[in-house]
Structure 1
Amino acid sequence: MKVSIQSDRLRPAALIVTTCLCACSSTPDKITLLPDPGGSVGAVVVKSVNTTQVIDTAYAQASVARNGAIEVTEGNPSDVQGRYGDLLAARPPRPMTFTINFLFDSATQMAPDSAATVTKLKTALATWPAPHLTVVGHTDSPGSVEFNDRLSIRRAQTVAAFLTKAGIPAQQIETAGRGKREPIVHTADGVPSQMNRRVVITIQ
């Protein structure tokens, strides 16, 4: 018996726990839908040979029998923890993102309000097993495309050097610069914006 599982990408992301047992067993396969850390729940389409069922409620479970019948039941956090506690504990941490802002035209001077972000970043790195970091630099709109491309990669390199000093091996850090192509605050060309002068660090 073949079971197809498809997540609904139009809904917020969700975590799926599956228990797929041997085809010769009479025990049904089970799919459990978990909310993400923010509480959002997506949707999962469960397809068997002759049946399709959508589950879109937190902790709902779909059981698929050998004959293709799908039964959906409600679940709860304690039940999921009891069944899959060891599996959930073995998951790697979910990616975390940190943003460090920079002063105007500077590739080395971080904005004063970034100090708190740096502290949080250090705390996360201290407990993260074998972290891999993507460091992407950005700029605001004043200046040419070429100038901002160079500035954004220099900002990323500044943060990468900081991370290396914090004990992260250089080979675990990737850097890139996006210049002024991806602003988070859209302004007219040439208008400064501190929120756009940033480096985004993703730990995974």
Structure 2
Amino acid sequence: MIGRHRQESAAAFVMLAFLAGCTTPPDRIILLPDPEGKVGAVIVRSATGQQTIDKAYAGVDVTKGGAIEKTMDSQSSVQARYSQLLAARPPRPRTFTVFFLFDSATDLAPESFATVKELKTVLATWPAPQLVVVGHTDLAGSQEFDDRLSIRRAETVAALLIKQGIPARQIETASRGKREPLVHTADGVPNRMNRRVVITIQ
């Protein structure tokens, strides 16, 4: 819910702004693209009707009485007019994946060092990050063994994050063992892409 109006979205970014210069300003709802430029759709409903917006920087004005009027802005216009609102938005969640050597809970695969470096750079400027760290294994071991291995991998990454200055209370660890392989293989088959930890910064 935003204001008095119901919205339904799919991969949509919505900004609610208040228009100045009126005694009772309407609510303005503007659809923004996501960081990759993708645009979803939003249905805005009021007491008197509904409108769908599905183009970047399209919007609607909704009066107190429920009347809905479509609007259209450009990217530059929205950024100029609502720069303070846009700057106040929290960062979008980011996900990083690091890979481990076979049967190891502590040794990262060589290709993961660049990911760790990028992760450190992002964390250095992220305001009050909350992190979810989930360990995984390939399908080579038993369920019990892989459950233990995956949580140890998650704990290894959590320790690395704490070393970078992230308070432990801001890190949640979990493990999925062999339950959610990135690459589906037969049970008992090792696969380097499945030996991983997924870090989500929120």
> Structure 1 length normalisation: TM-score?
0.92
AA partner of residue 200 (structure 2): T
1:5 maps to which residue? 6
Q: Which residue of 1 aligns with 2:187?
A: 189
Task: Report Cα offsets for 1:138-195 as digits up to 9, x if no partner.
Answer: 0010111111110000000011111111111111111111101111111111111111
Q: In the alignment, residue 110 of structure 1 is paired with which amino acid?
A: L
1:150-165 correspondence runs (5 A): 150-165=148-163
What is aligned with 1:174? 172
- Does structure 2 retain, via aligned residues, the 8 Å contact 1:7–1:42? no
Using the aligned pairs only, state the percent identity. 66
Once the two structures are superposed, residues 58-85 of structure 1 have per-residue CA deviations (whole angstroms, 9 ceiling, x without a partner) of 0001011233221112211111112211
- What residue in structure 2 maps to residue 141 of structure 1? 139
Q: Tell me the secondary structure at the aligned position of residue 82 of structure 2.
A: helix
Cα distance change, pair 48–20 in 1 and its aligned pair in 2 (3 A): farther
Q: How far apart are the structure 2 equivalents of 1:111 and 1:7?
A: 42
Paired residue type of 2:129:
P
Supply the distance in 1 between the matched residues of 2:165 and 2:79 (Cα, whole angstroms).
35
- In 2, the alpha carbon distance for the partners of 1:161 and 1:27 equals 51
Q: How does 1:53-202 map to 2 (within 5 A)?
A: 53-202=51-200
The answer on whether the counterparts of 1:4 and 1:48 sit within 8 Å (CA) in structure 2 is: yes
The one-letter code of the counterpart of 1:3 is R
The question of whether the paired residues in 2 share the 8 Å contact of 1:150 and 1:179 is answered with: yes
The 3-state SS of whatever aligns with 1:188 is coil
AA matched with 1:143: G
Q: CA deviation at 1:26?
A: 3.6
Contact between 1:3 and 1:46, CA under 8 Å: does it hold in 2?
no
Output the amino acid matched with 1:152.
S
Computed over aligned residues only, the root mean square deviation of the Cα atoms, in angstroms, reads 1.7
Cα distance in 2 between the residues matched to 1:3 and 1:132: 31
CA distance in 2, matches of 1:137, 1:200: 7
| Number of aligned residues | 199
1 CA distance for matches of 2:67 and 2:47? 9
Alpha-carbon distance in structure 1 between the residues aligned to 2:65 and 2:121: 51
Q: Which runs of 4+ in 1 moved over 4 A?
A: none
In 2, Cα distance between equivalents of 1:3 and 1:176: 38
- SS state of the match for residue 140, structure 1? coil
TM-score, structure 2 as length reference:
0.93
Letter paired with 1:183 = P
